[in-house]
Amino acid sequence: MDEFDLIHSITPRTIHHFSVDVGIGDDAALYTAKHGVQEIVCVDTLVEDVHFKLHYSSPEDIGYKALAVNISDVAAMGGIPKFYLVSLAIPSKWTKSEIKEMYEGMNELAKLYHMDLIGGDTVSTADKLVVTVTVIGEVEKGQACLRSLAKPNDIVFVTGEIGSSAAGLSLLLGETHPQSAFVETDYFIHRHKRPEPRVSVGRLCSSFKRASLNDISDGLASELNEIAEASCVSIEIDDGMLPVHSDLHKLDSAWKEWALFGGEDFELTGTVSGADWEVLKQECEMRQLPITKIGHVREKTESNVILKTDKTSMTLEKKGYNHFK
């Protein structure tokens, strides 16, 4: 394919933000930042056969998820996603139409959040497809929902449900065979391919004086351990309060492992004060945004995460998906 023809074909014809002064078409993009806000910048890379496989992911699925995982990072800061840049390393087996379909997958999600594509890079590679997306967002100055802001007696919560994405991946890989013919496996597969960033909940959290957030990319246990370590606290969660899909346990006996360590749900987990929790819960209910209280923050004996059941308690290790293990 011709690189410049490809760039021309994916260049947006309209923009959502008039703060863009120069978009695609020059050496770099220019935009005018606002006073009173902090810029958020995050980047994620998806690699073929590591983060997706072509036999079960369409180009649109790959593009959608590549942008979604970055938007989720902005949501975890309490911010608004505004711009994105895309870098592709493309094997020769890919056609121009397939690459355009990937951008269409991104655009499907970008339109929901009024995001503008403002640049990127395209190179060829001899082996696997590599997709790197950078997202730029903003949050009101001093209102970012940092991992280090959890305090003793805070409420610990999680949005949506956990474990469904890991279940979907297991189904796609043929590792799991439903124990019931009545389980809607397509739901779990969709949750893996098309995660829903929780920008609205992140924005609600940023309106409080103090809230900590983390997005669930590597698993609930890993993300809560990161909050505990950054805030120098202990986090205690209740096994019976974990929000999971009613059919999750019908798929495999490993369902709880998926919920705690599976990752790629791209839900948000975090902490707020008890008073703010009541407000957050009501605001989410009004907007039909699913959110669940799962535990409390405790005074630090050591920075860890404890899972309590009816009869026992156990320390949850900081494990989940790790690229280097």
Integer-rounded Cα Rg, in Å, for the chain is 20
Query: Is 190 annotated as belonging to a binding site?
Result: no
Query: Is 207 annotated as belonging to a binding site?
Result: no
Helices 59-75 and 199-206, axial angle in degrees (round to 10):
10
Residue 226, helix vs strand vs coil: helix
CB of 257 within 8 A of CB of 306?
A: no
Query: Is 218 annotated as belonging to a binding site?
Result: yes
Query: Is 73 annotated as belonging to a binding site?
Result: yes
Query: Is 147 annotated as belonging to a binding site?
Result: yes
Query: Is 78 annotated as belonging to a binding site?
Result: no
Query: Is 26 annotated as belonging to a binding site?
Result: no
CB of 87 within 8 A of CB of 135?
A: no
Query: Is 194 annotated as belonging to a binding site?
Result: no
Name the nearest CA neighbour of 227 among 159, 150, 316, 154.
Answer: 150
CA pair distance 319, 297, nearest whole angstrom: 20
Name the nearest CA neighbour of 31 among 6, 39, 122.
Answer: 39
Query: Is 5 annotated as belonging to a binding site?
Result: no
Query: Is 215 annotated as belonging to a binding site?
Result: yes
Which residue's structure tokens are 């809230």? 211
Query: Is 21 annotated as belonging to a binding site?
Result: no
Name the nearest CA neighbour of 169 among 94, 286, 264, 45.
Answer: 264
Query: Is 113 annotated as belonging to a binding site?
Result: no
Query: Is 44 annotated as belonging to a binding site?
Result: yes
Using CA of residue 91, residue 95, residue 98, residue 102, what is the dihedral sign? positive
Strand 305-308 to strand 234-238: parallel, antiparallel, or no bridges (unpaired)? Answer: parallel
CB of 110 within 8 A of CB of 117?
A: yes
Which residue's structure tokens are 């993300």? 223
Annotated binding residues, written as ranges, equal 27, 44, 51, 73, 103, 120-121, 147, 215, 217-218, 264, 321
Annotated binding residues for Mg(2+), written as ranges, equal 27, 44, 73, 121, 215, 218
Annotated binding residues for ATP, written as ranges, equal 103, 120-121, 147, 217
Annotated binding residues for substrate, written as ranges, equal 51, 264, 321
